[in-house]
Structure 1
């Protein structure tokens, strides 16, 4: 049997799947949204007036995937789309009151989830893991 360090990528993949599944279940119960939807709502909250193209870059998704995600969030009344003031083909995204309420409902569950991870990894391990994952996602920024 190989050392766990030699299988780090596969362990990360499995852990990410298990964490996403658990977080989805908890976010659905608390706020009626998935973690993918939650990520999009947080991104729009952080940058009101973001375009779908900018949202795709922020989330690391293809624009076609974000188009579907935004359509579902708009249909659910969580996001509002409006014409971009200068780019005729672009739309800008804003949270609705229902979108803000969904984020507010999800926050305590996300806080509990992070607290459980912090307890598992310890304060130093949690902070170091978060910093390392941030560097991977953002290319060393």
Structure 2
């Protein structure tokens, strides 16, 4: 009997890819949005007045990637930009009624995914995995270069 695969980096990449493809398919069918857009909409909803720079920080993305993402969200009518109250070159992002409706439409799929993951991993495994992912999402390797 062979040892279980211990290549964590490889396994995380493979799991993320598999989950993103399956989640995108389900979210697009249910709400017309991707997982990346879902994350951005959550952040805009949860942090009123967030800037694109703040959104990049929350999502762990480069500002150039967020510029494209916000462009797609505004073109779809899911997010609106308005002038920042204190910084004349900055804008703040607001969830539109359409954006809120997309989040509402996505919620059953999010709930279904969590229920499937709980069934697959067990309640303890689900909680441990969620805790581990929170730690890894904010971990900076000493070799990352800051």
User: Shorter-chain TM-score category?
Assistant: over 0.9
Q: Which runs of 5+ in 2 are unaligned?
A: 141-146
2:49 counterpart residue number: 49
CA distance, structure 1, for counterparts of residue 116 and residue 6 of structure 2: 26
Partner of 1:82: helix, strand, or coil?
strand
Alignment partner, residue 88 of structure 1: 88
Aligned-pair distance for 1:121?
A: 0.4
Correspondence list, 1:64-103, <5 A? 64-103=64-103
Equivalent residues in 2 for 1:1-141, closer than 5 Å: 3-139=3-139
Query: What is the CA-CA distance between 1:6 and the residue it aligns to?
Result: 2.4
Distance 1:71 1:103 in 2: 18
Structure 1: any 5+ residue segments left out of the alignment? none
In structure 2, what is the Cα distance between the partners aligned to 1:104 and 1:42? 11
* Pair 5,85 (structure 1): closer, same or farther in 2 beyond 3 Å: same
TM-score (norm 1): 0.95
User: Shift in Å at residue 13 of structure 1?
Assistant: 1.1
Where does structure 1 differ by over 4 angstroms across 4 or more consecutive aligned residues? none
Q: Distance in 2 between matches of 1:136 and 1:109?
A: 24
Residue 65 of structure 1 aligns to a residue whose secondary structure is helix
RMSD: 1.5
Question: Structure 2-normalised TM-score?
Answer: 0.91
Shift in alpha-carbon separation, 1:2–1:59, aligned structure 2, 3 A: farther
- Provide the aligned length of Structure 1 versus Structure 2: 140
